[in-house]
Amino acid sequence: MTKTDTTRYDVAEHLRTPEEIAAYLEACLEEANGDASSIAKALGDIARAKGMSQVARDAGLSRESLYKALSGERSPGFDTILKVVGALGLKLHAKAACRRREEAGRK
């Protein structure tokens, strides 16, 4: 039997275009279920794809603090999230959540 060598999948290696980056973050936001640390981890993946040192400079943070904030082991402050999102060239958008069926039935 032949032994198969595998490598660990790194999503950062596949985030090449702004559209891919935005789609990845959108998917992570939808799946997060309110878990801020998972969003931080997704932003860390994107920052690694773009170059952590450059993102840290653009966000006005040290590289070490950026790694810690976006490790997924903690929930960074919203001010840090906003700095990182801006440094990544992304924008946050809001849209109304789907109404529950009972609310929709009242109209």
- Give the SS3 label for residue 50: helix
**88-103 mean pLDDT:** 78
H or E element, residue 65: helix 63-69
**31-36 mean pLDDT:** 90
Residue linked to tokens 């950026």: 66
CATH fold label, 11-90:
434 Repressor (Amino-terminal Domain) (1.10.260)
Tell me the pLDDT of the chain averaged across its residues. 90
User: Cβ of 96: how many Cβ atoms within 10 Å?
Assistant: 5
Separation of alpha carbons 58 and 35, rounded Å? 25
**69-82 mean pLDDT:** 92
pLDDT tens track for 55-69: 999 999 999 999 999
- Output the pLDDT for position 90: 94
Look up residue 15 and give its two tokens.
């985030």
How is the chain split into domains, by residue range? 11-90
- Output the pLDDT for position 97: 79
- Output the pLDDT for position 106: 57
**13-33 mean pLDDT:** 94
Contact 90, 54 (CB under 8 A): no
Separation of alpha carbons 92 and 15, rounded Å? 18
CB burial of residue 55 (10 Å; 0-12, 13-18, 19+) = buried
DSSP 13: G
